[in-house]
Chain A
Amino acid sequence: MTDAPNLVEVDGMKVHFPIRRGVVLDKTVGYVYAVDGVDLAVRQGETYGLVGESGCGKSTLGRAMLKLTEPTAGRVVFDGVDLSKLKGEPLRTMRRRMQMVFQDPMSSLDPRQSVESLLVEGMRAHGLDKDKASTAARLRELLSAVGLPSTSLRRYPHEFSGGQRQRIGIARALSVQPDLIVADEPVSALDVSVQAQVINLLEDLQAEFGLTYLVIAHDLAVVRHISDRVGVMYLGGLVEEASSDQLYATPLHPYTKALMSAVPVPDPEVEDLRERILLAGDLPSPANPPSGCRFHTRCPWRQETLCDTERPELREVLPGHRVACHYAEDIRDGRIRAHEVKAQLVQDDWDVSPDSSLAGPASVTETLG
């Protein structure tokens, strides 16, 4: 799939959310740098996986790519069309081609709409609901594609189990014949035995309809299973990007290494033997990101120079393998050894007085809603 043309190109994407304080004056006291300079491209027909921990900006990036969140800077080119220039009707028509599947099927399906009404709504909005007979045929087709019984049409979301609800969400995205589906944590709300069903379903649908996926997830094992290429995000930036096989075989960025060593494997033999890279402390606040490399405060391979002063660019180290680390080659070849890191206190420096911290957000997730 390496020669396929790009379906989506993201160029210098930034999404900054203002932090506002005060009732009357409502002044902006700072910004949450949710996405801070990301370039990536998703090729036609591939599955691109975005992984990262909560608050790294992966969901915001996915939403900004579909223009569900207005980017602060940067542009998204979808199939040759610059989305940042589109407005109103042309943007609305364009949206047919890019759909989204959300994490929580219960809150993304209107509880008062029947399955039929949920599925027809999008088709109607895009003029695909021409006559009764063809719509009915299309609905049957959709249901069988996602593996729901044909009796589901008159039922309501609460009558279904979690896995089935996620199938409805997928059917809704498919109903308008999109090219790109952005799936934001499509399986994380489901039980393990059901997760596998939905993952297989997504793979089948891709083969059948030639879909392009952007899968956003925190679970590395899921992402590695489903994706052709994977991008790892940390604190608003992409730190590493490679084909999924290569990323797991030779992770180059220290954060990717730590992330992979932290994922528990359901095999005691592996668990007993493997070496863990335990990261010290927490994710720094995206409202006050560290200078230089965003990861240097927790990086076991941090060096005296460059790391805390200059932000590393994403550069191609091996063909198709991009990494944002000044010392990626030195770490790979063992010229730099890991050392112990002391956990640092994570502080939100926009707080002016100590009291005002009480009104502030407790975490990034809270800030982003």
Chain B
Amino acid sequence: MLPPLRFVLCGSVDDGKSTLIGRLLHECRAVFEDQARAAAEASRRYGTQGDATDLALLMDGLMAEREQGITIDVAYRRFETPRRQFFVADAPGHEQYTRNMATGASTADLAVVLVDAEKGVLPQTARHSRIAGMLGIRHVVLAVNKMDRVAWDPARFDAIAAAYEAVATETGITRTQAIPLSALDGGGVTRRAAPAAWFSGPTLLEHLETVEIAPPAGEAAFRMPVQYVNRPNPGFRGYCGRIAAGAVAPGDRVRIFPSGAETAVARIVVWKGERERAERGDSVTLVLKDDRDVSRGDVIAAADDPVEVADQFQAQLLWMGDEPLVVGRPYRLKLHTRETGAAVTRIKHRLDVVDGRTRPAPTLGLNDIGSVNLATDRPLPFARYEDNRTLGGFILLDRRTGTTVGAGMIRFPLMRAANVRWQDFEVTRENRARALGQHPRCLWLTGLSGSGKSTIANLIEQRLVAEGKHTFVLDGDNVRHGLNRDLGFTEADRAENIRRVAEVARLMVDAGLIVIVSFISPYRSERDYARGLFEPGDFREIFVDAPLETCEARDPKGLYARARRAEVKNFTGISSPYEPPEAPDLRLDTATESPERCVDRVLESLA
């Protein structure tokens, strides 16, 4: 029996997509009588087929979908025939649900692209094919539906199939099979349509049962991302994961990435036993010959065919967030089992998914696809997406809401990333700290303008210097006029401003200093980014808190008055939000505590 086939079904609104999938499930007896009865009952309320059961209602599982008569979210179903098992994703066709269509396509080997025989190839058809091609699908079935409405006219079918060839070639689809059918009556789906005797090709189901999918050529060598380190007792240390490419056997030489350390596989452990071989798709536990430092997010790979490691990439990015992408803003990135901070450094262009043209774009909005440069905080072991979906596909998460805002495909590493190597200095940060006789740290003061940050930062520094410590204060005055004078006050520039300040603070902490950062830094995501640059315990988020009215009454620089007169734009607290820390290391209430008392508390917290 052939391996299970995973396919996605895509089509525009009213092409009959849910009807087709309902037909397939119905004919393959994957619909039970009570489920059919529920669909029949729903048909009477929402259906579009008169007295006949509206098969689409078998699939449109959410109440909102049945009420609106459209598919909103991806539905996953399983069915089988005596010849093969199938996983099918029913993806919504409407433009505003591109992200859901991409989700359905992401795990599929084949796409069934529906067109209406009366309407022919539409801009939507190109859009669906381009998304499928971009997600790595090479096989397409062009299902020409509603052939009964054009009297099963062979000339009409041929014209549509020919028109689609141009789309397929352009979108990376290499294998196309066109099939005439009628999802409504089932002709061409699981049985030959009598009026289409002129068609010598297979039915849809026959094709799905017999089509063979070859894995990408780049998947030959062994790769396994480490998911979980299993250490039940001092005598056992196993690395759990699902094999992303190739095969492995005991004795095989492997290397761990990103470190590059080499060892060999000692055993492949499975429940109550061991295996002699495991391959792509298998979940296993590997025991290695030598004691090596291996953690979640590392990749174990064939020693003679290592994976690439880089920290700057060019990638295709599909934006899935309701808020647009902000260039320079820190997001969390998850690639296979590895998570790290990442930022888009540049949008090269946006892709028009209908005509395939590219255009310059300052940002990407919901459902936009663009080509971007990406920088990650840590080097990542990866593969190009076209070679391996598991090692080349990543998601971006918003740091504040935690939600998935982007899906990306690595095209290639940027050369300059490959050229940067971390210098292994003889003198370590520990040496420097010891020479200065102090624990280097970053004290990050956040709060509204006028909350007292500068006053407190200066007092902290005076007290520390009096104790013989080595310090530095970073604030708007000494950074905005030099290092960051090229930055304005747009959201992207403010994100870049904070990123640079955080990086400078980290270098200073590495140099051994106690750095006091005094910045409004209104966004949690950016403060979290800063925290992520430091060793645990070396970063203290100190919330300098005072009510807006108090800050406004103090107004040391007259800025609130100007903001109220709208002379200053994007002013935090007035015309731009401030996100207070949810769990600061320390909160100072400057409305009720004196500056001296606040500084006492800061120094006590460091002791």
Partners in one complex: no
* Chain A contacts to B: CB under 8 angstroms: none
